[in-house]
Amino acid sequence: MALRTLSAANAAALDKELMSTGAYSLDQLMELAGLSVSQAVYKLLPLNKGTRVLVACGPGNNGGDGLVAARHLHHYGYQPAIYYPKQNKNELYQRLTTQLHALKVPFVTSLPNPLTTSTYDLILDCIFGFSFSGSIREPFPSVIAALASTTVPVLAVDAPSSWDIEHGPPSEGPGKDYHPGALISLTAPKPLVEKFRGRHFVGGRFLGAEVAERYGLVVPPYEGVAQVAEVPVDGEGKL
Amino acid sequence: MALRTLSAANAAALDKELMSTGAYSLDQLMELAGLSVSQAVYKLLPLNKGTRVLVACGPGNNGGDGLVAARHLHHYGYQPAIYYPKQNKNELYQRLTTQLHALKVPFVTSLPNPLTTSTYDLILDCIFGFSFSGSIREPFPSVIAALASTTVPVLAVDAPSSWDIEHGPPSEGPGKDYHPGALISLTAPKPLVEKFRGRHFVGGRFLGAEVAERYGLVVPPYEGVAQVAEVPVDGEGKL
């Protein structure tokens, strides 16, 4: 059975619905989304105290999910570091940042060049999410080039950054050859998953059966209390 | 080693600190607290589709934790029902209630008499939490009497309702003989745990090492990504 996917327009509509008639706050949804991301990390990379995770955050909601995930990773015992070159000034984002400062999670101002496993064991790509428009402003072209060429395993959040949400990898630019080893789709997979080959997770366990059906989705096969489920895509899983 | 506990005054101070300099919203803290409660239920009562959980909610934050827990229980596959006789009119609580209505989680307006396992498999006591003042207004005296006499296993959230936060069970009134089988302490145990004999969990995984130390606490022994940890108290565990 093909995966049911959510177009960029429907993902925006569903988010809007969850926060209006659904009565969720962005705080709540982002907390649960970021928690799911942190649990996907745990599935990918068994916890050893000191495991180093670089959380690369963009200026929007995808970056906010990364900030939340980093906090949970700290509590699990990972050593997250945040790269967040264009910080969102909205109150929620400032609070998420303050929470990380209080835990002494470091913020780094540049990426090592080359970006290798001598510095990090895993990278979270939280640069762009489902509202990515296709234009990539500085400093993100070089960030995406670094993600595309790194030897460090990458988990992309909602979308490999710079991929078109409907059609997948761009035909030119720094993301042309960017194929992260793992992806976590939040709420539901986006059409780009058809072009993705790697381990695929779904998170954001707040979708009720009625809403899912109305958007042509299925509730992912979460087990027990897990906030994340692994969902095979075609092709072989690898990190 | 004796459990480190948090007095009612310090619990209030810590909550206030988390929401001021800590930069957490009540939304966030309640989401994580309620999630912990739902995971404690899962540890107590293995999931069979159709397992019935009565979530008895008071008008304050303890009731809000219950509303969040009920939503997660629904997503896990339990069948929660909400008893919420004095509904909080604040915006956050109205939103939490709306989220449950959207999932078609039923709200019941009275408790069965007698309250037995023919109707429910577990009860969550979310009536009063650490800010309990000692006065119990209608309709809660009869609710606590029902909790004290029920044959249904009870998981109390933060405190068995009507217990004094410092000293434990009251010497008179409907809670005099109320000894729930399980307790989940949120953020940290309160002094009443010294009088509690049953299975004891801790939840609310947002306490950093620095804050914990400053309040004379230890970060509970959470494993992996768990949002709840079981912490032995003296005496034999039972549900």
Residues of A in contact with B74 (CB under 8 A): 208
Is A239's pLDDT higher than 80?
no
Q: Which of A14, A21, A28 is the best mutation test for B, with the most CBs of B within 10 A?
A: A28
> How distant, in Å, are the alpha carbons of A77, A111, B208 from that of A107?
17, 11, 17
Nearest chain A residue to B30, by CA: A28
Q: How far B183 CA sits from the closest chain A CA (Å)?
A: 19
Greatest mean pLDDT among A75-79, A218-222, A231-235: A75-79
Residue A61 marked ligand-binding: yes
CB-based contact B22 A205, cutoff 8 Å: no
Band of pLDDT at residue B48, cut at 50, 70 and 90: confident
Task: Determine, yes or no, domain membership for A145.
Answer: yes
In a domain, B80, yes or no: yes
Tokens of A70: 């980093």
The pLDDT, as a whole number, for residue A20 is 96
Tell me, yes or no, whether A226 lies in a domain. Answer: yes
- For residues B40 and B200, is the Cβ–Cβ distance under 8 A? no
Question: Cα–Cα distance between B156 and B171 in angstroms, integer?
Answer: 19
Q: Which domain holds residue A218?
A: 8-230
pLDDT band at B234 (very low <50, low <70, confident <90, very high): low
Residue A125 inside a domain? The answer is: yes
In 3D, which of B107, B92, B132, B2 has the Cα closest to residue B54?
A: B107
- Alpha helices, DSSP H only, in chain B? 8-19, 26-44, 61-76, 91-102, 140-149, 209-214
Nearest to A205 among B47, B75, B104 (CB): B75
A21 part of a folded domain: yes
Q: Does some domain include residue A193? A: yes
- DSSP run (H or E) holding B157: strand B154-157
Model pLDDT for residues A88-104, shown as the tens digit of each residue? 999 999 999 999 999 99
CATH number, domain containing residue A192: 3.40.50.10260
ipTM value = 0.95
- Tally of domains within chain A: 1
The two structure tokens encoding residue A226: 């897990």
Tokens 């992912």 belong to A220
Contact across the interface for B42 and A224, Cβ inside 8 Å:
yes
pLDDT (tens digit, 9 = 90+) per residue, B187-204? 999 999 999 999 999 999
Whether A239 is in a domain gets the answer: no
Q: What is the pLDDT of residues B52-107, one digit of tens each?
A: 999 999 999 999 999 999 999 999 999 999 999 999 999 999 999 999 999 999 99
B239 within a domain of the structure (yes/no): no
All residues of chain B having their beta carbon less than 8 Å from the beta carbon of residue A21 are 102
